Structure 1
Amino acid sequence: MGAAARTPLLLPLLLGLGLGPGPVLGRAAPGDPMDQGDGDPQTAAQVFLGRYGYFREGNGEGPSPDSFEDAVREFQWTAHLPVSGVLDAATLRQMKRPRCGVADAESRQAWARRVTARRAPRLRKRYVQPRANGKWYKLQLSYRLVNWPRHLPEGRVREAVRAAFQLWANVSALDFWEAPSGPADIRLTFFRGDHNDGLANAFDGPGGTLAHAFLPRRGEAHFDSEEPWSLYSRRGRGLFVVLAHEVGHTLGLAHSPARGALMAPYYKKLGRAAVLSRDDVLAIQNLYGKPLRGSAVQLPGSLFTDFEAWSPDGPGDQERSGVRGPHYCHSFFDAITVDGEQRVYVFKGGHFWEVGVDGNATGPWPLRTRWPRLPPRVEAAAVSEVDGKFYFFKGSRCWRFRGSTLEPGFPQRCQGGGVPRHPDAALFFGPLGRLVVFKDSRYFVLAEGALRPEPDYPRHLRDWKGVPPGVRGALPRPDGSVYFFRADRYWRFDQARLRVVGTGHWASELAWTGCGDANSGGALF
């Protein structure tokens, strides 16, 4: 192979940018305790440990070396890390993980009992003893959803809230009902930044602190509205599991040291295992007793990983609900692409819509009526401008269709060729004649035939100046611009100016997405 063939296949629009080293990934958001050390990891860790209650009463001059080491040890034990007292890389990474904003200090007695239980098996149960005002003295409680993330449909969010309360009712004597307005025992509210809970409790944007709650009987749970909340299992921040955790706090539960517990301090994604661990069940039953109707029913996490699937989009659903326009206009989509005739295809769950050049959307239709053997909830889609073939990506697999015919050899495992698992978005980039796949803060240029990354890829997303990481859709437009989507927003990238030149809300501003009718009245928000 000649030297010319080995030259990196750089995007023409990016030539001459003189790109330098990229930023450190995973940096804590401004306002996060781990971002408050002026670049010094130990100072940042000291702020973090102080915020979450790992220091005993001090003299106001900061912790001594011994108390700092003890706090690090206790944090490492709580986080199931090797206990050394040394502020190593693994400990710092753990401190930066998304978590609940409630301090861990309330769980000290539980953790001490758990340490003792290692030597005394009869003490293995975690019974969190309620403080004064640390539990409700009634079993029928009302709750109210004050507001919700604007990019999520209200009905689905209410389902997630209802399921979060029912999760605890299934294993205790508690019973819950929703108060649509007026006073309620427990109120759930989404806030941004400082919301009058004290500067230490101000939200910090995506990552860091996700939410916090107050023990009975204040009855409040607050959620960071800037998080990429999602009702899907693999997209954004799973709202249901955070709701269920914070509801646990409003019922009187402190953080748990058990690795698989829902009440553990750190965010977790749901799998097939039960949402509540035995530790969670014992704790709630110690406060409120066992279920009044039969035995406790443990529910698997797989029941809650996709609330959209509870009510699949069908041709008559919107008419019955009174919501105007396609359903995706009031929430978000799984993937979006455009063909050579400028027909836009929007994918959500097991259905798709087709939007003509006039901006009118038709559908939804089941995916498999057009693309047999294509699974629901595809994660990225693109159409080749060379031959009109459709490419779909989900998990580690990819599909290629000519018309409605799946080509031989597909689906295939694309990960083995270097394509990332669970890609965020894909598009066919005309100037290169190549597919481009995006994943987090990187992008991959693929050769269509073999679906393998070209040499010197992946590259950092900073090449696309102004495009945020974690986009959920991308497509080119006839004027040469490229549109990127995430949640309810879009970013317009101008090739001539080599940067993002506009941003806004796609459903209300981009008529070619098929949402014009949704904005003419009767919209959900």
Structure 2
Amino acid sequence: MTFPRCGVNDAESHVSWKERMVALASGQKPRRRRKKRYLHQTGKWYKRHLTYRLVNWPWYLPQQQVRLVVKAAFDLWSNVSGLVFWEASGDPADIRLTFFHGDHNDGADNAFDGPGGALAHAFFPRRGEAHFDNDERWSLDSGKGRNLFVVMAHEIGHTLGLEHSPVHNALMSPYYKKLGKDFVLSWDDILAIQNLYGKPPRGPVVQLPGKLFARFQDWSQHLDAPERQESNLSSHYCWSFFDAITIDLKDNLYIFKGGYYWIVSKGGKATGPRPLQELWPRLPSTLDAAAFSEEDGKFYFFKGGRCWRYKGSSLDVGFPQKCSSTGRLPRHPDMAFYFQPLHHLVLFKGPKYYVVNEESLQVEPYYPRSVRDWGGVPAMANGAVTHPDGFVYFFRSDQFWKFDPERLQVVATGKWAPQLRWLGCQEAELNQAVG
């Protein structure tokens, strides 16, 4: 139940899908289903021009990029159907998109439960609403966090009258698809929307590949009006969670988000962002985890089942490697860091942690073990660093946990952006907004 999925009930989706496939195979018109589902009647809109409104959005995401995500999600459906969408300047709008915390008057069964589980749900025509969990960790790129574009496009499909599809790679599968390089919509998605609204009258179907939607942070240049400071990449990691963090022997912090990194000096001054490949050639566009080892003075990067090792900017011979198969390292680790008492790298993945030999990149004997060994450190953290004060700081979303390596327990918690000035987020306006 904790696996991220759509919260719309799909009890009859397989039945309706089977009826539609049988009808298409026989050349008959599919029978319209009018059974009650999800507190209302399914059906379709009886017009082809629809308006939408983004009511609110997560505080840590820039408004202009979120609006681009929403527009792209609607364009995805209009490119393959007879529908046309435009953003309404205010009420009323046919379709409303809203982010909520917990119970939001949709009934106890539809209350949002924070990270994981049901990320969103929507109502079929003609209520015209889609709701998203505001406590989820949303992302505008292919890095850590839930991809907002994929979830947005899926829920919009429901507002247009589409039920869940049993096809595994369909956008309308109840479990949200990953945004790969292939087409976002499957053949089943296209057939379903055209069954309701017909083919696009303005030309051939425009099928869009997923690689076009990998990085909405880079789309801001297409908007004319500049936004407030939250859209400024120079402090972007302060307004959001980051993908990874590490610290070198000179106490320089390296903070990673998407395809960029920032360097924060010992005095708390941040510089960046800079592209990852500028300093570390051949790295992927996003990272799962990063660590600097005090043992050999090298950087270690992890993405999927592969790992990279650099001395400065020079990639070691034989890298990247498939560390998940050769060294039993976990795929898509949550974080990595160098733990001084063990003189080894430590990787966290879900409820387990792994101690890794840097030279062989093999998991040490008797590991993995439970994260409970770490006395209050949360699972699924973004990253961790050992600060010069001797404590290890763990990070997840906008929170930090201060860990005492001698007592092996967490001794303090809080919000890192306003409280830990050494992370480079000391601007008064920013601290007030995040706090």
TM score, norm. by length of structure 2: 0.87
Aligned to 1:449: 359
* Counterpart AA for 1:278: W
Moved more, 265-274 or 430-439: 265-274
Change (3 A) 1:341 1:452: same
Moved more, 334-343 or 253-262: 253-262
* Distance in 2, Cα, partners of 1:250 & 1:310: 26
Q: Deviations over 1:39-96 (max 9, x none)?
A: xxxxxxxxxxxxxxxxxxxxxxxxxxxxxxxxxxxxxxxxxxxxxxxxxxxxxxxxxx
Aligned to 1:368: 277
SS at match of 1:411: coil
Aligned to 1:39: none
Task: Give 1 or 2: higher strand fraction.
Answer: 2
Q: Is the Cα–Cα contact under 8 Å of residues 465 and 498 in structure 1 kept in the other structure?
A: yes
1:437 equivalent to 2:317? Answer no
Aligned to 2:305: 396
Q: Is the Cα–Cα contact under 8 Å of residues 425 and 431 in structure 2 kept in the other structure?
A: no
Q: Deviations over 1:355-388 (max 9, x none)?
A: 1111111122233333333333232221122343
Aligned to 2:337: 427
1:121 equivalent to 2:30? Answer no
1:110 equivalent to 2:110? Answer no
* Counterpart AA for 2:116: G
Q: CA deviation at 1:435?
A: 0.9
Number of residues of Structure 1 aligned to a counterpart in Structure 2 = 425
Aligned to 1:260: 169
* Distance in 2, Cα, partners of 1:235 & 1:186: 28
Moved more, 424-433 or 493-502: 493-502
Q: Is the Cα–Cα contact under 8 Å of residues 233 and 273 in structure 2 kept in the other structure?
A: no
SS at match of 2:191: helix
1:179 equivalent to 2:88? Answer yes
Q: RMSD of the TM alignment (CA)?
A: 3.0
Aligned to 1:501: 411
Q: Is the Cα–Cα contact under 8 Å of residues 491 and 504 in structure 1 kept in the other structure?
A: yes
* Distance in 1, Cα, partners of 2:392 & 2:28: 57
Moved more, 397-406 or 337-346: 397-406
Gap runs ≥5 in structure 1: 1-27, 30-96
Change (3 A) 1:114 1:322: closer
1:278 equivalent to 2:187? Answer yes
SS at match of 1:326: helix
Aligned to 2:114: 205
* Distance in 1, Cα, partners of 2:270 & 2:369: 35
Aligned to 1:484: 394
1:195 equivalent to 2:101? Answer no
* Distance in 2, Cα, partners of 1:116 & 1:288: 19
Moved more, 254-263 or 292-301: 254-263
Aligned to 2:38: none
Q: Deviations over 1:311-331 (max 9, x none)?
A: 69xxxx999987485222223
SS at match of 1:400: strand
Matches within 5 A, 1:1-40: 28=1
Aligned to 1:246: 155
1:143 equivalent to 2:52? Answer yes
Aligned to 2:294: 385
Change (3 A) 1:518 1:248: farther
* Counterpart AA for 1:335: A
Matches within 5 A, 1:330-341: 330-341=239-250
1:464 equivalent to 2:382? Answer no
* Distance in 2, Cα, partners of 1:477 & 1:220: 46
Gap runs ≥5 in structure 2: 36-40
* Counterpart AA for 2:383: G
* Counterpart AA for 1:99: R
Q: CA deviation at 1:187?
A: 0.9
1:231 equivalent to 2:145? Answer no
* Distance in 1, Cα, partners of 2:367 & 2:358: 15
Aligned to 2:328: 418
* Distance in 1, Cα, partners of 2:28 & 2:369: 50
Q: CA deviation at 1:259?
A: 3.5
Aligned to 1:216: 125
Aligned to 1:269: 178
Identity of aligned residues (%): 60
Change (3 A) 1:327 1:284: same
SS at match of 1:412: coil
Q: Is the Cα–Cα contact under 8 Å of residues 325 and 516 in structure 1 kept in the other structure?
A: no
